[in-house]
Amino acid sequence: MKSYKVLWELIDGLLDFIYPRNIECILCGTAVEKTEKYSLCTACKCQIHFVNKECKKCGKPLEEMYLPDTCHDCMLTNHFFTAGYACVAYDEEIKKLIYRLKYGGQRYLAYHMAEMMAAKIRQKKLEQIDWIIPVPLHINKKRQRGFNQSEIIGQYISRQMGWPLDRENLIRIKDTATQNKLSKEERKINMKNAFQILDPSKIKAKKILLIDDIYTTGSTLDSCSKELLRAGAKDIYVITFAAGKNL
Ligand SMILES: [Zn+2]
Ligand SMILES: [Zn+2]
């Protein structure tokens, strides 16, 4: 465990050297003070829609004027997870930011996303988690992209919260088509039996925190949660960096 921590500090130091943190705003690139939170300039911080009013089930942002405490989706669908949380509303700027991490290889962005997610976890007073589990990519996709962004975010959250990370037990066995062009129903079918738990004994009676970058319809996270429940998980929480309003 100790050597793992030392290794992380080394990698972290190296990353800090390659991508100096808190120098440029991660959204617009203007100079920021070292003390500026999340490496965001004041203007961008004001522009980002941080989730304050949210669906109590899935964590999706709700409009100010919307009265119920759950979103329309959650009124119609039962989720397999206990509760979900998200940091920011998914809009054009956030879309570009996630794209830069996933396809532009700007992995340092994951550090700041994880910072925001850890703040949300603390705000929601989520207690001791037994395993942080990032939503896995199929091996083919991971090879193609070179890394799994949720894993990197998960590693940073694990370090910030002091909770262990498991990135091997939950695997994706179906090389599913990209979800973003599919309807809600198609996504559900696409995700059916897409995941598998290799060692259920590690999951039994445990409190799990699933990590992903975006929450849209929740079909991916539901599919993972279903497998975890089948393996005997006690509670499953979900945290994503961004969540769509009406997706
Ligand atoms: Zn900015
Ligand atoms: Zn909801």
Ligand nearest to C-alpha 245: 2
Q: How far is the CA of 76 from the centre of ligand 1 (A)?
A: 38
- Secondary structure in 3-state letters for 178-199: CHHHCCHHHHHHHHCCCEEECC
Q: How far is the CA of 84 from the centre of ligand 2 (A)?
A: 8
CATH topology of domain 49-243: Rossmann fold (3.40.50)
Q: How far is the CA of 103 from the centre of ligand 1 (A)?
A: 21
pLDDT (0 to 100) of residue 17: 63
Please give the Cα distance from 139 to 143 (Å, whole number).
Answer: 6
Do the strands 195-197 and 170-172 form a parallel or antiparallel pair, or are they unpaired?
Answer: antiparallel
Residues in the chain predicted with pLDDT less than 50, given as ranges, are: 247
> What is the rounded radius of gyration, in angstroms, for the C-alpha atoms of the chain?
18
- Per-domain boundaries in the chain: 1-47, 49-243
Closest CA to 61 of 230, 233, 215, 212: 215
Please provide residue 162's backbone torsions phi and psi, each rounded to the nearest 5 degrees.
Answer: 75, 25
pLDDT (0 to 100) of residue 6: 72
Q: How far is the CA of 39 from the centre of ligand 1 (A)?
A: 8
Q: How far is the CA of 59 from the centre of ligand 2 (A)?
A: 6
Q: Report the alpha-carbon angle 188-194-198, nearest 5.
A: 145
Ligand nearest to C-alpha 238: 2
Amino acid at 167: R
